[in-house]
Amino acid sequence: MTLWTGSGLFNIEIGQVVMIAIGFLLLFLAIRKGFEPLLLVPIGFGGILANIPEAGLALSAAENAIHMAKPEVLAALASALDVSYQSGQVVTAEVMDAFKYAYKEASSAELAMANGLAQDFGYGNGMLYNFYTVVIGSTVGPLLIFMGVGAMTDFGPLLANPKTLLLGAAAQFGIFGTVLGAALLDWLGILDFTILEAAAIGIIGGADGPTSIYVSSVLAPHLIGAIAVSAYAYMALVPMIQPPIMKALTSPEERKIKMSQLRPVSKQEKIIFPLVVLIAVVLFLPDAAPLLGMFCFGNLMRECGVVERLSDTAQNALINIVTIFLGLSVGSKLMADKFLDPQTLGILGLGIVAFGVGTASGVLMAKLMNKLSKEQINPLIGSAGVSAVPMAARVSNKVGLEANPQNFLLMHAMGPNVAGVIGSAVAAGVMIKLLS
């Protein structure tokens, strides 16, 4: 009997069915459509695991104990969580809600006590809960990914043409425009958001996975699932989202502009550039230090030439290990009660706005720069400022080739592309500074 009453089929809720279907959809998009599979395969799979009924893989020991609702356990938890419940009292839906609410609002001392008690009664933290706590709760996961991305990034094209940093700055308008969009939805009464939630949603416009996960883990952890899925899905859709916007904002002549070949960049410049960025962080924006610090550290390991074995590990074994756990951890937040919410639709809708606004801002900034300077740049590389490395740069190149088959923009677009990574990390630092 226990086997049947404890089975998934007996306990499954409609929300869990929907979320498992969403998990399979993510796997389908990742495997068959090639949507950022490195993240979406673990996220999708983690989402399915998190919604297995009765398994409680994404719940803490105390949450699992509350879910099982044995009266003697609840009585013990009641004292730890300050809920009015006496042993033997009937466990009604209100009682359950009171426990869940109390757990959500508990101080860290109360949480420690409640989880300790639950463990004494034989309940344990779910596997995904542990992964989330270690990898995202501590913020270490996104930072290590960022270190690895730094170790994979070549700043050469940016150094050859530092002006393109401005394109990476302009594209961050996608972030803040989206915050405004969320506020607008709230003002119109369509959806409710706090400023923290609005900011976390905005960061989707950064088009950078680890930055999105880092910011939402700090500002609005309950939205991390929807935000990460939105960010990675739209990054995969960049080849569809960007070209119409790019073409609408540029004339065929502008798209044909040929850019002069990039000058060669010396080894020393590449070594010193991450340190220059680091100094700017030290002086101006300490709150971007974790993200940009690790990014610059990874890049310095890459370029300095004397720690290849560390650089290689940061780009391979370490980033792969962290990616597996990060994906599963993000997936653990794809739970019905948090994801099946109108807010999620809002996040998906605002996400595509974010990418569009960022793309447009980058292109328009390029056109503005052409107005102010003699040296002409092809405005198509402006769209690469949203990040989405290296997809956005490839899109610039492809649209450029359509206008002029001799015009190879790829290397020129890599400059704003990596500038966009720095730009979003700076925007993330500003939002964390002002809001947390």
Partner 1 sequence: MNDLMSQAVDLMIAGMGFVFAFLVVLVFATLLMSKLISRFAPPEPATPARTPRAKPKAPASVDPDTAEAIKKAIAQFRSRHKK
- Quick note: the x/- pattern for its own copies over 140-169, rule CB under 8 A, is x--x--------------------------
Subset of 189-228 contacting its own copies (CB under 8 A): none
| Number of other CB atoms surrounding residue 350 within 10 Å | 27
Q: Which of helix, strand or coil describes residue 68?
A: helix
DSSP 114-159: HHHHHHHTT----HHHHHHIIIIITSHHHHHHHHHHHHH---HHHH
* Residue 49 in contact with its own copies, rule: CB under 8 A: yes
364 contact choice in partner 1, its own copies, Na ion, none (CB below 5 to 8 Å, kind-dependent): none
266 contact choice in its own copies, Na ion, partner 1, none (CB below 5 to 8 Å, kind-dependent): partner 1
321 contact choice in partner 1, Na ion, its own copies, none (CB below 5 to 8 Å, kind-dependent): its own copies
Binder of its own copies out of 162, 284, 337, 345 (CB under 8 A): 284
Q: Which of helix, strand or coil describes residue 263?
A: coil
Which is nearest to 151 in space by CA: 293, 305, 274, 315? 315
For its own copies, which stretch binds (CB under 8 A), given 167-175, 253-261, 270-278, 393-401? Answer: 270-278
Q: How many angstroms separate the CA atoms of 110 and 100, rounded?
A: 13
Q: Which residues in this chain contact Na ion in the complex, by CB under 5 A?
A: 206-208, 387, 420, 424
Half-sphere exposure of 216 (CA within 13 A, CB side): 28
* Residue 342 in contact with its own copies, rule: CB under 8 A: no
* Residue 91 in contact with its own copies, rule: CB under 8 A: no
* Residue 18 in contact with its own copies, rule: CB under 8 A: no
**Helix 61-68 vs helix 71-81: crossing angle, to nearest 10:** 130
CB of 208: closest distance to Na ion in angstroms?
5
Q: Which residues in this chain contact partner 1 in the complex, by CB under 8 A?
A: 3, 31-34, 36-38, 152, 158-159, 162-163, 165-166, 168-170, 172-173, 175-177, 179-180, 182-184, 186-187, 193-195, 198-199, 266-269, 272-273, 276-277, 279-280, 284-285, 305-309, 312, 316, 390-391, 394, 419, 422-423, 426-427, 430-431, 434-435
Q: Are 347 and 223 in contact (CB under 8 A)?
A: yes
Q: Calculate ∠ Cα 379-384-386, nearest 5°.
A: 120
CB of 91: closest distance to its own copies in angstroms?
21
Which is nearest to 202 in space by CA: 416, 415, 8, 435? 435
The dihedrals phi and psi of 172, each to the nearest 5 degrees, come to -70, -10
390 contact choice in Na ion, partner 1, its own copies, none (CB below 5 to 8 Å, kind-dependent): partner 1
* Residue 7 in contact with its own copies, rule: CB under 8 A: yes
Q: Which of helix, strand or coil describes residue 89?
A: coil
